Amino acid sequence: MRVLVFLLLAGCAPRPDIGPLPVDDAPAPVLLPQEEIAARIAATPAGPAVEDDLNARAAALRARAGNLR
């Protein structure tokens, strides 16, 4: 019972304000040109075996979701 009271009281405590994050901590986003995106996609092995594997996994997930309903 005491644990429940402590958890409830802990949830009521105000959260500390840490302020905004400094801008220098995060790397700047990089927008790739469309040609480089297309080259990266072409470099990935996406053949019939990968497609069949993804289709099998999708079917298994659909079956699992159907069983959960």
Can you give the pLDDT of all 69 residues of the chain as single tens digits? 777 777 777 766 677 777 776 667 667 778 989 999 888 877 776 666 777 888 899 999 999 999 988
Residues 6+ apart with CB under 8 A from 16: none
Secondary structure of residue 28 in the 3-state scheme:
coil
What span, in angstroms and rounded, lies between the C-alpha atoms of 66 and 53? 20
* Buried-exposed string 14-24: b where 16+ CB fall within 10 A, e elsewhere: eeeeeeeeeee
What's the predicted TM-score (pTM) here? 0.35
